[in-house]
Structure 1
Amino acid sequence: MFYIQDGRFSHSLTTHEAILTAATSKHNVVDFFAGAGVFAFATSGGASLLFEDQVFKDFLSNNHFTLIVGVDDITNTKALNKLRELRDLYQPNLEVKVFCHNDRGSLFHPKFIWFKIDGELRLITGSGNLTEKGLRRNREAFTINIYKDTAARAVEEYWDLWISENNSNLLDLDDEKVIRKAARNAERFVRTRRLETELEGDEEENTSPDTANEPSDLEPTDTIAGENLPEGVLVNTPNATGILETEDYEAWTIEDNPEVLVAEIPNNNVRWKQANFNVAVFERFFGGIAGGHVERRILLRHVGNTGLLEELEVRPTVSVKSKNYRIELNAATGLDYPKGDDRPIGIFIKVATRSFLYSLVMPGDVIYNEVLDYLNDCEPRAGIRMRRYLTNVEELRANCPSLGFWLI
């Protein structure tokens, strides 16, 4: 089957979700499973997104998986550190190798993953890398093929032959050659960003002389994992305080004019952080599948008033027997539901398929009245009904200029 990952496409399926579905057994039986994945590039965020999911935790609790990543570009020291952490966490079931070669005219560029599970071999081949952008944000395409019996054995034999003939190129994460290449990737990235920043500065000097002397907010950091090399994270960009690599940060930027939901959050007593939405909002805006049993993930990052991107929140698309569907919001942790008539307001910006930036605005926050006035103008309150207003970024920015989204 052929699929397209495209946040503006109504039938989009992400590479991330396809992999998790392929790694899930359809039968509750104990059996020997195995798998392997090969990606040209990896980031710490991409590796976390895939291998820290409960589906992979369950798979690796009893089964072996081989991961091979390239280091010709993007994969840097921070990515290697995350891969070491995952390898040690799941040992001996997770084996991680780095494809490191000396062919100057050739780039290591494959992206595929397969699982031997439930008596079949499930192979996903596509364009997305092991990064947050590749797994969720970029416009990518992939195919899912199912092989059984003789065909499955042929795929395994072909894989084993490739591994055998490339054994000399498959190095450990701690190999000095791998470490040097990863550090150079970070250094190359920062040099590129420096050049881009200088060019942008020249453009501004030509078009906006009043701002030409303002300091750039795209200055790189000075060290990488204790070495005297750049990290590849733009630390003065408000979001990038050690949580995200720049490559992963770009999966969360606000581009063009995506969809926005402004929603009052209902009182669910001490569990109000599990925000309830009706089925229409759950399916049409958040992209959930009511009553479905396929692996779908809603990704959230809360944005505070300073524009700081907080930790990734990964939520299965949980459907319940009632007509309400829940999405848990970490930003509500430890907060009491407000008394009186004022309600918390959640603002969700869709940046990709089932991926959202959000802000939880509480009564008493300095920007609450600004958001409340906007919601009152667009959809006046009617009784006790929770208001759900769909809009776009352009309108939201014009009416709520104080939100932290615009500082990202």
Structure 2
Amino acid sequence: MLNFQIAGAAGGNLLEHLLVESIGAERGGGIFAWANTNGVKSLFDDDVFDDFLVNGDFRLFVGTDAITDPPTVDKLIDVSTQRPRLDVHAFMSPTTSLFHPKMAWFEHENYLSLIVGSGNLTMGGLRSNWEAFVSLKLSGEDRIRALTQIETFLTSVTEHLLPITDPRVMGKAQHNTGNERNLRTAGTQPTVAESVEAVLVAEIPKAGNRWAQANFDLENYERFFGARVGSHRRISLHHVDATGAVGDVESRPSVEVASQNYRFELAAARGLAYPHGGAPIGVFLRLATGEFLYSLILPGDAGYNEVDKLLTDEWHGPAGRKRRVRVTVDQIHSAWPASPLWDGLVPAL
């Protein structure tokens, strides 16, 4: 099946396909031209892929000609240490020609899942760039032929493959940057207005003792976050703390429960007691890349009163309901000009 990954669109991205095809697989592998830390985290820190690695073997081969930087190498070493069934090698190109393949495969009992396309093991390649890829299920002779071709290729380049722990890999990575946006031509950095597609300001309900599993109404679950009732979608969030520091990527599955609650987990709320004197307020920015930045503010925090007033002014729903409103960038900036989101937005671009 041919798939197009549309920048900024929810669902249908390479990450989702890799996760789905890993379910129930016995073993697999991937070959990517390069990787960055957010891409590695998005795939290997996901519960679905981690479950696969508990019982399944996965061989990963990553190029070092560009992008793959020291933090990425460190992350790959860490993941492979935690999950011994993950075997990671780096490709050290012997010429000035780029190592540029992008593919993955998963061996199931009766078929082979083969995914070949343009996306690398980066956040952009997995979900937010414009990409295209083909997802195939092969059986019989087609399965055998594909696996044979993969092994033939890997055997032919064995002398250029080094364990990810080899010091020469880190030495090569020190010349790279993990930011794919450096590949853009000068002058193409988007403005705030261009990079933020929509803003949601939402009170987070208590929901028992698990308010980190933040509940949202159906309208925003589907039309703001891009989930779909009856299907499994994933979103990528970054928390921005009070200093403007952008947290690690949070790859979250959409969750539906029988009580018609629609949830995404927020790492920033983990371990926090639900506050007295007012509901926590989340401010979410949906970026043109399809990712989300968010800040979580509690009663007494800087900006809470200002954002609470914005909710009061813009909420037109029933009394007693948790207030959730979509506003413009100008509205939230005017209400909360000192928000750390504006500092976090720049590195996130």
Same fold (TM over 0.5): yes
Structure 1 residue 354: deviation in Å? 5.9
Confirm or deny that 1:315 pairs with 2:314: no
Q: Any conservation in 2 of the 1:40–1:111 contact (CA below 8 Å)?
A: yes
1:124-165: CA deviations, max 9, x gaps?
Answer: 112221112221222222221111111111101111111121
2:41 pairs with one of 18, 29, 48: 48
Confirm or deny that 1:143 pairs with 2:134: yes
Partner in structure 2 of residue 99 of structure 1? 91
Structure 1 residue 273: deviation in Å? 2.5
Structure 1 residue 269: deviation in Å? 3.6
Structure 1 residue 95: deviation in Å? 1.5
Structure 1 residue 4: deviation in Å? 2.3
Cα distance change, pair 176–256 in 1 and its aligned pair in 2 (3 A):
closer
Specify the SS of the correspondent of 1:396.
helix
Q: Any conservation in 1 of the 2:38–2:248 contact (CA below 8 Å)?
A: no
Partner in structure 1 of residue 149 of structure 2? 158
Cα distance change, pair 322–151 in 1 and its aligned pair in 2 (3 A):
same
Structure with more relative contact order (C-alpha pairs < 8 Å, separation 6 or more): 2
Structure 2 regions of 5+ residues with no counterpart? 345-349
Structure 1 residue 350: deviation in Å? 1.2
User: Which is further off, 118-127 or 347-356?
Assistant: 347-356
Specify the SS of the correspondent of 1:179.
helix
Confirm or deny that 1:332 pairs with 2:269: yes
Structure 1 residue 380: deviation in Å? 4.5
Q: Any conservation in 1 of the 2:197–2:285 contact (CA below 8 Å)?
A: yes
Partner in structure 2 of residue 72 of structure 1? 65
Partner in structure 2 of residue 15 of structure 1? 14
Q: Could you tell me the TM-score, scaled by structure 2's length?
A: 0.88
- Percent identity over the alignment? 40
Q: 2: distance between equivalents of 1:184 and 1:8? A: 30
Provide the aligned length of Structure 1 versus Structure 2. 338
Specify the SS of the correspondent of 1:389.
strand
Q: 1: distance between equivalents of 2:38 and 2:88? A: 16
Partner in structure 2 of residue 406 of structure 1? 342
Confirm or deny that 1:119 pairs with 2:55: no
User: Which is further off, 150-159 or 353-362?
Assistant: 353-362
1:283-314: CA deviations, max 9, x gaps?
Answer: 2222223233x4x3222222123211123333
Q: 1: distance between equivalents of 2:146 and 2:116? A: 13
Q: 2: distance between equivalents of 1:352 and 1:64? A: 35
Q: Any conservation in 2 of the 1:44–1:131 contact (CA below 8 Å)?
A: yes
Q: Which amino acid aligns with 1:266?
A: P
Q: 2: distance between equivalents of 1:95 and 1:52? A: 16
Structure 1 residue 68: deviation in Å? 0.4
Confirm or deny that 1:288 pairs with 2:227: yes
Structure 1 residue 336: deviation in Å? 3.5
Q: Any conservation in 2 of the 1:374–1:399 contact (CA below 8 Å)?
A: yes
CA RMSD of aligned residues (A): 2.6
Q: Any conservation in 2 of the 1:291–1:320 contact (CA below 8 Å)?
A: no
1:67-105: CA deviations, max 9, x gaps?
Answer: 0000111112222222122222222x222111112212x
Confirm or deny that 1:57 pairs with 2:50: yes
Partner in structure 1 of residue 309 of structure 2? 373
Partner in structure 2 of residue 4 of structure 1? 4
Cα distance change, pair 62–278 in 1 and its aligned pair in 2 (3 A):
same
Q: Any conservation in 2 of the 1:5–1:139 contact (CA below 8 Å)?
A: yes
1:307-331: CA deviations, max 9, x gaps?
Answer: 1112333322111111111222232
Q: 1: distance between equivalents of 2:289 and 2:271? A: 29
Q: Any conservation in 2 of the 1:6–1:12 contact (CA below 8 Å)?
A: no
1:266 pairs with one of 205, 216, 219: 205
1:108 pairs with one of 99, 107, 124: 99
Q: 2: distance between equivalents of 1:52 and 1:335? A: 22
Cα distance change, pair 181–349 in 1 and its aligned pair in 2 (3 A):
same
Specify the SS of the correspondent of 2:145.
helix
1:343 pairs with one of 279, 285, 288: 279
Confirm or deny that 1:362 pairs with 2:298: yes
Cα distance change, pair 76–335 in 1 and its aligned pair in 2 (3 A):
closer
Q: Could you tell me the TM-score, scaled by structure 1's length?
A: 0.76
Partner in structure 1 of residue 321 of structure 2? 385
2:235 pairs with one of 283, 295, 298: 298
Q: 2: distance between equivalents of 1:381 and 1:369? A: 20
Structure 1 residue 389: deviation in Å? 1.0
2:30 pairs with one of 23, 34, 37: 37
Cα distance change, pair 303–174 in 1 and its aligned pair in 2 (3 A):
closer
Q: 2: distance between equivalents of 1:304 and 1:160? A: 46
Structure 1 regions of 5+ residues with no counterpart? 26-31, 201-249
Q: Any conservation in 2 of the 1:7–1:351 contact (CA below 8 Å)?
A: no
1:186-206: CA deviations, max 9, x gaps?
Answer: 5x98xx89xx9xx99xxxxxx
Greater Cα radius of gyration, structure 1 or 2: 1
Structure 1 residue 398: deviation in Å? 3.2
Specify the SS of the correspondent of 1:36.
strand
